[in-house]
Amino acid sequence: MNTTKKEAWKVFKFGGSSLANTACFVRVSKIILDSYIASEEQPHSIVVSAMGGFTDLLIKISKDVPAKSLKSSSEYKSIIDRISIISNDLLDSAESEKYLQEVSEDFTEIKKILDQSNSNKDKFIEDKGDIIAGYGELWSARLLNIYLNKLLACKKSNFIDSRQVLFVKASDTGDSIDWVKSKESFKNITTSLSSKIYVITGFIASKEDGTPTNLGRNGSDYSAAIFTSFFDAEELIIWTDVDGVLSADPNKVKNARLIANLSYNEAMELAYFGAKVIHPKTFGPLINQSIPIYIRNTFSPENRGTRISSKVDANREIKGITVIESIALINLEGTGMIGVPGTADKLFSSLKDKNISVTLISQASSEHSICIAVPDSASELACDQINTAFSEEIKSGLISNIDITRNLSVLAVVGDNMVGQKGIAGKFFSTLGDSGINVRAIAQGSSERNISAVIDSEDTQLALNVIHNGFFMTKPSLIIGIIGIGVVGSELINQLHANIKNISNKFNINLKIKAIAKSNAMIMDDDSIDLINWKSMINESSVEFDINEFLMHISSDASNKNVLIIDCTSNEDISGRYAEWMESGLHVITPNKKAFSDTLDSYKRIKNLSNKKNGFCFYETTVAAGLPVISTVQDLIDTGDNIHSIEGIFSGTLAYLFNAYDGTKPFSQIVSEAKSNGYTEPDPRDDLTGMDVARKLAIIGREAGRDLEINDFKIESLVPVELSGVDADKFLDLFKQYDEEMKLKFEKAKNNSKVLRYTAKLSKNNEVFIGLSQYPEDHAFSNIHLTDNIIQIKSDRYSKNPMVIQGPGAGPEVTAAGIFSDIVTLLKLIN
């Protein structure tokens, strides 16, 4: 056998999922032959697992199926049916018949094993599961070898039964490879076959006496590593059903990313702490020879995967985050442990006697206590062992307590570049603390390659996500759900679409609109909704609006605490839930006045929650669209000013009506024209009652520190009592009969060189006026633009010359812009 550099071997290992059916065998063969041909017939060794699911079926046969029932068992039928289909698909009839005959002969051997009696063959029966479990590798390796030779049209591939090569021997720590005997057997077999392609069974081996056995779960990876070492190959490629080693379990962390490069040490740490892609034993045979391992995807062979080698990648301190679940923590405590040699040795010896593995160790520097993490399933036995071992110390009071805490997980971050780096541990624990996750025990190896924390099981998913986001996410995300797509909601979405990239870049945060809802439908996306086609999508949506489902969707990422609901409705049921949402950590932005003008207690509850900064609430647009009225009043109060009075025109609709009304047209006609031009609500009475103005005054007054209840306000309604209950479509016709009354008020003001304006005023002593007033023609309120709001504030600082805020107080563009401004305020706080 030539093993010079020119003839350096490649070793491929294919797992069970890669060999699950006919299509998989075809795909695997293509990968092998493409590599073989591209490398100009560089020698390849192929190590295979059993076809997907076969090992579990064989173990079940060994445990539950009597010999006489073997061929009638469902397990036997499942194996034979699938293996027959694959064989007949891949091979010609003669080859398939021959292959299936070998499988049948193997089942005859399995039946003989099942036939052995406990009384005569106790040890053999004990090992029968190990023997029977290994037949799956024989079947997949034989079949792949036959199929490769068929494709090559000549016998260039040879089958090797690893039971004739790999031998294990007993040791204090369990069975281990007999390297001398195995290497000798390998040399003899490969010399006699002298092939350029070998298909080798993974997983299985033989004991010193020749009895078949296996290398345990994930033993195929270990087999592949051993053969890679024996061939002194240039690389080992483990082909599986994932793209490589990920930074976290993708089933628990959506944003898990592929790790391009790992060192052996990093990979071993990740494997030990639960990363399931590769078994820790796999590295042993390869490290001394510095042979790299690649983890690649059989189903996406174009992807490079993860390279594991002796090189340390300096690009990132943390490479991966992983977790061991179903852990129990046992704590020993007592003054008798201080300075007493042998305590730890006695503890671990007692556990070793029952083969109990210790996952994590943490000891106080005073030696007053020591805690260990063990599998939850072994916790009772571990406690019994420890109590027995330390019975004398417990009786004498030297050990005061042995506590056990169940339902825990061990969370670990791993990376070579953590060594000597300041702040990694601080960031790790502060991130957990900020998320309300309690750490029960910690451990860090002296190599500083990993930091481990024991946490409650119920916090596992959250912990994985917040730690992953903290170390891997280049940008945090603000998740947004929008309720209400009327003129304001639609305009807001348009403004977001036009500016979302600039805002994201400026604040270094991703804005993701994951849900949009209207009264009878909603659309949702796991990432972010397409803001170009959102309108057609929601119009075509068959998903009914369900507020609870809406909330569940935007809050589904446990790791993202930045979730915003934008309520663009005037719905009282929705606004009534703001406090509930804020208590759960959601942010709220809205132009909906209902929650802030409702009872004083309701208003104060929302304010208090926002001040606690659990969930923020912004509502600038509830008073004057995009005008900065609320924020200005808040700034005055926060900086110690004392507000005397607030007076102004708070309704764009009423501003328009009395700007347009000059007595030449009936007032009802002005209202009708305003409705046609979109300046009023669909039912103009919603504007004419003055209730909208009252709500705004209540909100701004409360912001100024006044305890106001809207029910105490006296409001001059422009809707005659007789017309308050008539149908909306009849209102304007009936309203005409009251035109003369309004004309008389107009003429009276005009005769006094004044104009009519509908205003609201809050005085220093909490007196409230809401209704029609006369103002001189040169007054600021008399000279506004058509739909302007104007608010005048008198305070200690602005007494002689009041502060005036004026501008458009209505309209979808300015209202949406005001909501957008609130979003920017929230982004600043998040940053």
Tens of pLDDT, residue by residue over 498-524, are 999 999 999 989 999 999 999 999 999
The token duo for 36 is: 């073989």
Q: Quick one: pLDDT at residue 217?
A: 74
Q: Which of 696, 745, 794, 800 is catalytic?
A: 696
For residue 16, the tally of other CB atoms under 10 A from its CB is 23
Residue 746 has pLDDT above 50, yes or no: yes
Q: Quick one: pLDDT at residue 681?
A: 85
Single-letter code of the amino acid located at 281: K
Q: What is the DSSP letter of 441?
A: E
Mean per-residue pLDDT of the chain: 91
| C-alpha to C-alpha distance for 623 and 416, rounded to whole angstroms | 56
- Per-residue pLDDT, averaged over 44-73, amounts to 95
Residue 120 has pLDDT above 50, yes or no: no
| C-alpha to C-alpha distance for 770 and 772, rounded to whole angstroms | 7
CA dist list (Å): 215 to 107, 168, 226, 455, 711:
21, 9, 11, 33, 80
| C-alpha to C-alpha distance for 777 and 497, rounded to whole angstroms | 44
Going by pLDDT thresholds of 50, 70 and 90, the confidence category of residue 348 is confident
User: Cα–Cα–Cα angle for 319, 325, 329, nearest 5°?
Assistant: 110
Asked if residue 266 lies in contact with residue 416, where contact means CB atoms within 8 angstroms, the answer is: yes
Q: Quick one: pLDDT at residue 117?
A: 45
How many residues are there in the chain? 831
Q: Which of 98-107, 334-343, 748-757, 798-807 has the lowest mean pLDDT?
A: 334-343
Q: For the chain, percent helix, then strand, then coil, each to nearest 5?
A: 45, 20, 35
Asked if residue 191 lies in contact with residue 1, where contact means CB atoms within 8 angstroms, the answer is: yes
Tens of pLDDT, residue by residue over 560-591, are 779 999 999 999 999 999 999 999 999 999 99
- Per-residue pLDDT, averaged over 125-133, amounts to 80
Residue 273 has pLDDT above 90, yes or no: no
Asked if residue 359 lies in contact with residue 327, where contact means CB atoms within 8 angstroms, the answer is: yes
Tens of pLDDT, residue by residue over 619-665, are 999 999 989 999 999 999 999 999 999 999 999 999 999 999 999 99
DSSP secondary structure letters along 580-606: HHHHTT-EEE----HHHHS-HHHHHHH
CA dist list (Å): 240 to 39, 45, 243, 694, 788:
22, 16, 8, 67, 67
Q: Quick one: pLDDT at residue 450?
A: 86
Residue 123 has pLDDT above 70, yes or no: no
As a whole-number percent, the residues of the chain with pLDDT over 90 amount to 74
Q: What is the DSSP letter of 715?
A: B
- The DSSP bridge partners found for residue 330 are 372, 404
Q: Quick one: pLDDT at residue 173?
A: 64
Residue 682 has pLDDT above 50, yes or no: yes
Q: For the chain, which domains are there? A: 10-241 (3.40.1160.10), 320-470 (3.30.2130.10), 477-625+820-830 (3.40.50.720), 629-809 (3.30.360.10)
Going by pLDDT thresholds of 50, 70 and 90, the confidence category of residue 3 is very low
696 classed as catalytic:
yes
Q: Which of 143-152, 263-272, 732-741 has the lowest mean pLDDT?
A: 263-272
The token duo for 646 is: 């607030």
| C-alpha to C-alpha distance for 607 and 32, rounded to whole angstroms | 66
Nearest residue to 243 (alpha-carbon basis) of 300, 158, 324: 300
Which of helix, strand or coil describes residue 147? Answer: helix
Asked if residue 362 lies in contact with residue 371, where contact means CB atoms within 8 angstroms, the answer is: yes
| C-alpha to C-alpha distance for 736 and 488, rounded to whole angstroms | 31
Nearest residue to 246 (alpha-carbon basis) of 260, 261, 257: 257
Nearest residue to 144 (alpha-carbon basis) of 99, 78, 106: 99
Asked if residue 480 lies in contact with residue 529, where contact means CB atoms within 8 angstroms, the answer is: no
CA dist list (Å): 621 to 232, 243, 368, 683:
72, 49, 61, 21
- Per-residue pLDDT, averaged over 283-293, amounts to 94
Single-letter code of the amino acid located at 810: A
Q: Quick one: pLDDT at residue 159?
A: 97
The token duo for 656 is: 């328009």
Q: Which of 269-278, 421-430, 432-441, 609-618 has the lowest mean pLDDT?
A: 269-278
The token duo for 640 is: 């110690």
* pTM over the 0.75 mark: no
For residue 536, the tally of other CB atoms under 10 A from its CB is 10
Going by pLDDT thresholds of 50, 70 and 90, the confidence category of residue 396 is confident
Nearest residue to 53 (alpha-carbon basis) of 15, 104, 86, 91: 15
